[in-house]
Amino acid sequence: MEGYMDTLWGWAEVYGMRVLGAVAILILGRIGVSILAGFVKRVMIRGKVDETLTRFVVSLTRIALMTFVFIAALGQLGVQTTSFVAIIGAAGLAVGLALQGSLANFASGVMLILFRPFTAGDYVEAGGSSGVVVSIQIFSTVLRTPDNKKIIIPNSKITGDSITNYSAMDTRRVDMVFGIGYGDDLKKAKEILESLLKADSRVLADPAPVVAVLELGDSSVNLAVRPWINTAEYWDLYFDYTEKVKLTFDREGISIPFPQRDIHLHQVTTA
C-alpha cells in the first residue's frame, strides 16, 4: 500500500504543477482573450465598421486566440503540440483552397466596408451593373435598379473593376445637346437656352452654366448646354429642361431638325 501511495505522490509531484499550470493558462488565457476581443470590438465600433463585419471579426479573433491558449495548455501538460499545429495548418490550407472564391469575396467586402467607396443609398455603377446601393454585406453587395429590380453582385467583382459613384459629390454637371436648323437664328436660340437656365432656380450660379456651339453636324447646328445643379435634382432638371426647350423652340419658330435624305431620280431614256 505504501508503494502505491509513494507512486501516486510521485506522480502528483511530477504532474501536479503541470496540471495547475495548464489550468492557470486556460483561465488566464480566457480572460486575456475576452479583453483582446473586447478591445477589437471597441476599435471597430469607434471606426464605424459595419455591425455584421464587427461580429464576424470578433468571433474569428476569439476562436483563433482560444486555439493558441488551448495548444499552450497542452504544451504545459507535456503533450507534443507540433502535430496539432501541423494539423491546424493543413486544415486551414484545405479550407482556404476550398473557399478561395468566398474568401476573395470576404476580403473584398472588408475593403468596401473599411474604405467606403460608396455607402447605402448611393447610386453607383459597379461590377457591370448600376443602381442604388441597398446594403454592403460580407460576401456581396445588393443594388436596386431604377425599375425596382434587385441585383446581388459578388464583392470581388466590384473591387476588381472600376466603380462610378454618382452620389459621391454634392453637385453635378448636366450635359445636354440641342440641335437647330442651319437656317435658324443662332443667337436667338442661345438666348432662349440661357433664359430658360436663368429662370430655373435649381441651376447653380457658381459654376456658371455654359451654352455654346458644340459642332456643325450633318443636318443641324448642335448647341451644348452645361448647367451645374445639386446631385439629387439631376434627372428632374434634365427632363423638365428638355421639355421646356422643345415647347419654347416651337413657340419661337426655332426648328429641331432630324436626319433627312434627298433622293434624286434620274430618268434614263433608251433608244
Nearest C-alpha neighbor of 188 from the set 257, 254, 240, 250 = 254
What integer pLDDT is reported at residue 49 of this predicted model? 66
pLDDT tens column, 160-217: 889 999 998 999 999 999 999 999 999 999 999 999 999 999 999 999 999 999 999 8
Range from 46-60, 108-122, 162-176 that averages highest in pLDDT: 162-176
Residue whose C-alpha cell reads 433608244 in the numeric block:
271
What share of the chain in percent tops pLDDT 70?
76
- Residue 213's H or E segment, with its range, is strand 210-216
pLDDT tens column, 145-164: 999 999 999 988 998 889 99
Stretch 132-153: mean pLDDT? 90
CA atoms of 120 and 109, how far apart (whole Å):
14
Q: For the chain, give the number of residues.
A: 271
Calculate the average pLDDT of the chain.
Answer: 81
CA atoms of 206 and 190, how far apart (whole Å):
20
**Is the Cβ–Cβ distance between 196 and 188 less than 8 Å?**
no
Report whether pLDDT(14) > 60. no
| HEC readout, 121-165 | CCEEEECCEEEEEEEECCCEEEEECCCCCEEEEEHHHHHCCCEEE
Domains and CATH numbers, the chain: 2-98 (1.10.287.1260), 116-165 (2.30.30.60), 171-252 (3.30.70.100)
CA atoms of 192 and 250, how far apart (whole Å):
12
CA atoms of 176 and 223, how far apart (whole Å):
8
Nearest C-alpha neighbor of 69 from the set 8, 135, 23 = 23
Range from 12-26, 128-142, 174-188, 249-263 that averages highest in pLDDT: 174-188
pLDDT tens column, 65-113: 887 888 777 777 666 666 666 666 665 555 554 445 567 777 888 788 7
- CB-based burial of residue 244 (10 Å sphere; 0-12 exposed, 13-18 middle, 19+ buried)? middle
Residue whose C-alpha cell reads 455654346 in the numeric block:
212
64 pLDDT band (50/70/90 cuts)? confident
Residue whose C-alpha cell reads 440641342 in the numeric block:
178
Stretch 13-40: mean pLDDT? 77
